[in-house]
Structure 1
Amino acid sequence: MSTDRRRWLKGAGASLAGLWLAACDQLNRNSAVHGALAEAETLTRRAQRLVVPREALAKEFTEADISPDFRANGTTRPGDADYRAHLASGFADWRLELGGLVERPLSLSLAELRALPARTQITRHDCVEGWSSIGKWTGARLGPLLERAGLKPEARFIAFHCADSLGGAANGKYYESIDLIDAFHPQTILAYDMNDQVLPVAHGAPVRLRVERQLGYKHAKYVMRIEAVADFAHLGRGKGGYWEDRGDYAWYAGI
């Protein structure tokens, strides 16, 4: 092949790549495309709700199945001053706040959270990046905690506000949200132990969400505050989660 032909092919390839990226960028900016994707996500969620019973359990495993090296993804040690102070004190003054659209707002110490109805489960964590690990989790069931707070009739979703800052809009704090079906699911817990040990910092100490029928990015770590909401309008960019706000992942990540 001649040098001129190689240069022409290289230039043509670069041009095509540029056109493809430009087209993708235009699609990302197109509100109609975003609307269509949102409708598709809603249909997927509704279809799964129709074929899978509300309380169907994610598969649980045995002690022998626990992964010897459970990868810690995302933030592994928040740098925020408030979190560092809590960590230094062993979370002695940490409190989990539960508010929003509830009749009786709650503020619980870690000891009080540990005294609530709990559940232990060995489940598989499936990451959107393509890897999986199996771990043993113990934590307070979210459903009874919400019942204790008393959800108001207009509450439709539960949002989890976290300690880790990843940057960006809305002060960059990580947050996630789930609907009431997942919130009251028996396997949805606020985990404070992992593999029979106190939850490690890298995995979200002092408390992380485990919502076993969804992908890993929904399992918010370093949970500081829980909020019952009617919609996502006042949260971040209004999409219901840190990554969802940025268009990287869908809000519903059911598996």
Structure 2
Amino acid sequence: MTKLLTRRTILGGAALGAGGLLSGCDALNRSPAFQNLLATAETGNFHVQRALGDRMELASEYTIADLSPTFRANGTRNPDTQNYNASAANGFSDWQLRLFGLVNKPQSFSFAALQSMPQRTQITRHDCVEGWSAIGQWTGVPLKLLLDLAQLRDTANFLIFHCADSLGGRPYYESTDLLDAFHPQTIIAHRLNGELLPIENGAPLRLRVERQLGYKHAKYLTGIEAVASLDGIGEGKGGYWEDVANYEWYAGI
């Protein structure tokens, strides 16, 4: 009976992620028993997807003709803080992206420096947990290049993406494991459809981790922190929406 229940829990992970997690304020989602069920289902979903998929399989890429007429903005449209507004007024010339934590060589990259590095351009589909999709062309620096410069320590297992925006008084953040971090389509994007990122889409820098759902693509990036564990960061679930609404940490597509 225990084995059957465990198997049914794992196979139910996708359905729970799509439905139950969106209603994070109801009594069911506040139930400790239900939270344990979600955690078990997510773990199963993570391992099933990892087992079935090629570690470096690419997300589908499209052509210019496939671009959506507009690329919808979601979440924060503008951090609207004094520091952010001042930087935006200067074309983000003073913006810095720090790479720190469990690295041998901490780095700080200016916006100009990131634009001068080797770039990758890809046309991909953005899938939102709310049910909409859009196709956009993204240009940015492969995250692998930055990690190679910083030289991750052997104890690093995850990356935390720190952002300039906040929701409900909580700083926005996201995380990924190193497998997705080194994926060739994971980039720090600064252009959308050939133009500098609009503010509503995450200017000046946003994460594109193309084999994950949209809420994993953190905007307004200020820092990337290499850590051994997600414990002690936020509520330890790996991201803003994971903390406040029990979204799945592993949002693979």
What is the TM-score of this pair, normalised by structure 1?
Answer: 0.87
1:144 deviates by: 1.7
Residue matched to 2:51 = 50
Residue matched to 2:216 = 218
The whole-number CA distance in structure 1 between the counterparts of 2:139 and 2:64 is 14
The whole-number CA distance in structure 2 between the counterparts of 1:58 and 1:29 is 34
The whole-number CA distance in structure 1 between the counterparts of 2:149 and 2:40 is 34
Residue matched to 2:60 = 59
Q: Which amino acid aligns with 2:144?
A: G
1:61 deviates by: 0.2
Q: Which amino acid aligns with 2:232?
A: H
The equivalent position to 1:230 in structure 2, one of 228, 231, 237, is 228
Residue matched to 2:141 = 140
What is the TM-score of this pair, normalised by structure 2?
Answer: 0.87
1:57 deviates by: 0.3
Q: Which amino acid aligns with 2:92?
A: F
- Cα RMSD over matched residues? 1.3
1:35 deviates by: 2.1
Secondary structure of 1:240 counterpart: coil
1:115 deviates by: 2.0
Secondary structure of 1:34 counterpart: helix
Residue matched to 1:82 = 83
Number of aligned positions between the proteins = 229
Calculate percent identity across the aligned residue pairs: 59
1:207 deviates by: 0.4
Task: Determine whether 1:34 maps to 2:32.
Answer: no
Provide structure 1 residue ranges, at least 5 long, that are not aligned to the other structure: 1-20
How far does the alpha carbon of each residue in 1:73-118 deviate from its partner, in whole angstroms, 9 at most, with x for none?
1111111111111111111111100101111000010111112222
Residue matched to 1:241 = 239
How far does the alpha carbon of each residue in 1:28-73 deviate from its partner, in whole angstroms, 9 at most, with x for none?
3433332221121111111111111111000000000000111111
Residue matched to 2:193 = 195
Provide structure 2 residue ranges, at least 5 long, that are not aligned to the other structure: 1-22
Residue matched to 2:4 = none
1:225 deviates by: 0.6
Residue matched to 1:70 = 71
The whole-number CA distance in structure 2 between the counterparts of 1:139 and 1:74 is 21
1:235 deviates by: 1.3
What are the within-5 Å matches in structure 2 for residues 105-144 of structure 1? 105-144=106-145
Q: Which amino acid aligns with 1:199?
A: L
The whole-number CA distance in structure 1 between the counterparts of 2:45 and 2:234 is 24
- Tell me if the contact between 1:174 and 1:242 (Cα under 8 Å) persists in the aligned partners: yes
Residue matched to 2:152 = 151
What are the within-5 Å matches in structure 2 for residues 1-16 of structure 1? none
1:167 deviates by: 2.0
Task: Determine whether 1:94 maps to 2:95.
Answer: yes
Residue matched to 2:5 = none
How far does the alpha carbon of each residue in 1:186-212 deviate from its partner, in whole angstroms, 9 at most, with x for none?
000000011011111110000000000
Secondary structure of 2:190 counterpart: strand
Residue matched to 2:203 = 205
